[in-house]
Amino acid sequence: MIEVQNLTKIYRLGSVDVPALRGVSFRIERGEVVAIMGQSGSGKSTLMNILGCLDLPTDGQYLLDGKNISGMDEDELAGIRNQKIGFVFQQFNLLPRMTVRRNAELPLTYDGARPEKEIHQRAEDILNAVGLGDRLNHRPTELSGGQQQRVAIARALVNQPDLILADEPTGNLDSHTGADIIKLLLGLNKQSGLTLVIVTHDSSIAAQTQRVIRLRDGIIEDRG
């Protein structure tokens, strides 16, 4: 599913080059559940952005589903993000003006000219599946943190991606709600074989994954 080789990212701050990733190589197979851990500044956010096709590496190769990402332009990357990747953020990143349903529909509206009916139906189905079938017309601010993260997960799932990237998905939730969210994500992996990559600080979450990639100062420390 994911194959990175010698991935390097250097940020240029004025005249100083700051390396964030210094040659990272690994593979993640389809259907795997992997945790990425590391302290802040270890380069895990940078890695996450590159894996999510939000950013391009300075050097090295990234193959997603066999396709080389490095040479793509901005709009092609947007297409890949729309079709293949679902994001779950620490801050949920829901649009406050829109209802729960409209938030979940968002990726579908950027996917060609789908019939409105299909967009409605799919968003509704997925919101039902994450247990928010009775909150379709609420605004995100009217929901609890756990519910908001479920909306975000519904949004990530609505376009049937192959890969879910969760960046500290429990960071803003209490431990009980956080555990529910992790259970939901792991359940999705079991049900439909989604590849799941979770960035986390929490070793108890990492313990529930099949493999842990630890980053330190832009390189992989060891493989679990």
Partner 1 sequence: MKLYRLFIEALESLNANKLRSMLTVLGIVIGVAAVIAMLSIGRGAEASITSRIESMGTNLIYVTPGSTSESGVQSSAGSAGTLTLDDSEALASLPDVVDVAALTNNMVQVVYQGQNTRTRLVGVTPSYETVGSLTLEDGEFISEDDQNARSLVVVLGNSVAEDLFGSTAGVVGQRVRLNGQPYKVIGVLASKGGTGFMNQDDQVFIPLSTALYRLVGNSQFRGSSVIGQITVKASSTDAIDQVVNEVMLTMRELHGTVEGADDFTVTSQQATLDAATEVADTMTIFLGGIAGISLAVGGIGIMNIMLTTVTERTHEIGLRKAVGAKRQDILLQFLVESVVLSLAGGLIGVALGWSTARLMGQVQFSGSTITPVVGLDSVLLATLFSMAVGLFFGIYPATRAARLQPVEALRYE
Are 213 and 220 in contact, with CB atoms under 8 Å apart? yes
Shortest Å, Cβ 205 to partner 1: 22
Ramachandran angles phi, psi of 71, nearest 5°: -95, 5
Residues 147-176 touching partner 1, rule: CB under 8 A, are 155, 159
As a whole number of angstroms, the distance between CA 170 and CA 166 comes to: 9
Closer CB to partner 1, residue 161 or residue 212? 161
Going across the sheet that includes 195-199, the strands are 85-88, 163-167, 195-199, 33-37, 211-216, 219-223
Stretch 35-54: interaction string toward partner 1, x if CB under 8 A: --------------x--x-x
Question: Residues 71, 75, 117, 134: which binds partner 1 (CB under 8 A)?
Answer: 75
Closest by CA position to 35, among listed 170, 203, 173, 194: 203
Number of shown-chain residues binding partner 1 (CB under 8 A): 26
Q: Is 132 helix (H, G, I), strand (E, B) or coil?
A: coil
Question: For partner 1, which residue of 106, 129, 136, 186 counts as binding (CB under 8 A)?
Answer: 106
Under rule CB under 8 A, residue 83 binds partner 1: yes
The nearer residue to partner 1, 56 or 129, going by C-beta atoms, is 56
Look up residue 157 and give its two tokens: 């799932």
- The answer to whether the beta carbons of residues 154 and 123 sit under 8 Å apart is yes
Q: With binding defined as CB under 8 A, does residue 72 bind partner 1?
A: no
Task: Give, as one character, the DSSP assignment of residue 85.
Answer: E
Of 100 and 212, nearer to partner 1 (C-beta) is 100
Q: How far is the CB of 45 from partner 1 (least distance, A)?
A: 9
> First and final CA of the chain: distance in angstroms?
19
Q: Which H or E run contains 55?
A: none
**Is 67 an interacting residue with respect to partner 1 (CB under 8 A)?**
no
Nearer Cβ to partner 1 (136/179): 136
Choose one: 19-27, 28-36, 76-84, 141-149; the region binding partner 1 (CB under 8 A): 76-84
Q: How far apart are CA 177 and CA 196, in angstroms?
A: 19
Q: Give 43's DSSP letter.
A: S
Regarding 87 and contact with partner 1 (CB under 8 A), the answer is yes
Site residues, partner 1 (CB under 8 A): 49, 52, 54-55, 74-75, 78-79, 81-83, 87, 89, 93, 95, 97-98, 106-107, 109-111, 113, 116, 155, 159
